[in-house]
């Protein structure tokens, strides 16, 4: 069932809760792929009722051209979801934002680095829509992909700040056969760019074999990315897997991950890998 109004969404979700059933929520911006479907299937397995939102959220785009070019494939998305979800919330921008949003969040240090630094206002925009969805649906569990690892950290802060009761369930990255992390933005790549982009993950994998500390790994990744003419590196950071603050040595954190953002043409791709 497709729901297009906030009133309808809230009423149905309240009814589900009143019946004593558990709710799983999967927020998306549509242009669904196997990565999204893996979240939806997990929500299906772990909850009585599944809600999927499909909404290209304008307030999280700091690049207006990116917003215009973001793929919108609602009819196909609905077919892909099929029986995995009970309700699909697919509102208009006017329905979600009848007036300009005024929410201002302070997510602290996890939002001030990497994507937060590169895309000013992005995480606040994410907080605006996800916070509203949490309020409207009041899900028991909400599902997010680990490709957007930093976003998950921000949303955990959103839950704390907003006193939401939902459990955040992180789900593993789903990759194309060539290793490229699945993303709706992959649709904007030419076939040649699609194959070239697979080198991002290949370089990250090779970097886990480097004998040395953080500086050696950073130097390797940056030099390997620079060897691919189609790539423009935005950043490669190695960070504490909890605080997301940059580390300069493995001795500084128990868990260390690498986070990378690369442009191929006008398409911005992100990925990550765990070192320990």
Asked if residue 273 lies in contact with residue 148, where contact means CB atoms within 8 angstroms, the answer is no
Indicate which residue of 36, 122, 140, 164 is catalytic: 36
The CA distance from 98 to 114, in Å, is: 31
CB neighbourhood size of 141 (10 A): 18
H helix intervals, the chain: 6-18, 34-46, 64-69, 74-81, 93-96, 115-118, 122-137, 149-162, 191-207, 214-226
- The token duo for 100 is 């300009």
Instruction: Write the CB contacts of 95 (distance below 8 Å, at least 6 apart in sequence).
Output: 4, 5, 6
Establish whether 140 is a catalytic residue: no
What is the pairing mode between strands 2-3 and 87-89? parallel
DSSP string, 56-108: --GGG-S-HHHHHHS---HHHHHHHHTTS-SEEE---HHHH-SS--------G
Which residues on neighbouring strands pair with residue 108, listed in sequence order? none
User: In 3D, which of 67, 53, 74 has the Cα closest to residue 132?
Assistant: 53
Residue at token pair 């809600």: 51
CB neighbourhood size of 275 (10 A): 18
Active site residues: 36
């Amino acid at each position: 069932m497709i729901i297009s109004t906030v009133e309808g969404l809230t009423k149905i979700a309240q009814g589900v809760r009143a019946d004593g059933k558990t709710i799983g929520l999967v927020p998306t911006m549509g242009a669904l792929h196997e990565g999204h479907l893996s979240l939806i299937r997990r929500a299906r397995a772990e909850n009585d009722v599944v809600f999927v939102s499909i909404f290209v959220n304008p307030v999280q785009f700091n690049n207006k051209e990116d917003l215009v070019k973001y793929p919108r494939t609602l009819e196909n998305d609905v077919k892909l979801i099929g029986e995995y979800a009970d309700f699909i919330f697919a509102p208009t921008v006017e329905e979600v934002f009848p007036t300009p949003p005024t929410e201002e969040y302070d997510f602290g240090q996890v939002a001030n680095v990497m994507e937060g630094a590169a895309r000013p206002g992005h995480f606040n925009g994410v907080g605006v829509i996800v916070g509203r969805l949490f309020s409207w649906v009041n899900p028991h569990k909400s599902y997010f992909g680990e490709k957007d690892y930093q976003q998950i950290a921000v949303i955990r802060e959103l839950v704390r700040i907003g006193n939401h009761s939902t459990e955040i369930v992180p789900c593993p990255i789903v990759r194309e056969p060539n290793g490229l992390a699945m993303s709706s933005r992959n649709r904007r790549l030419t076939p040649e760019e699609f194959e070239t982009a697979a080198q991002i993950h290949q370089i990250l994998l090779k970097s886990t074999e480097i004998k040395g500390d953080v500086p050696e790994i950073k130097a390797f990744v940056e030099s390997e990315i620079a060897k691919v003419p189609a790539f423009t590196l935005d950043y490669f950071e190695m960070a504490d897997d909890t605080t997301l603050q940059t580390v300069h040595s493995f001795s500084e954190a128990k868990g260390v991950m690498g986070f990378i953002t690369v442009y191929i043409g006008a398409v911005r791709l992100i990925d990550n890998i765990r070192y320990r």
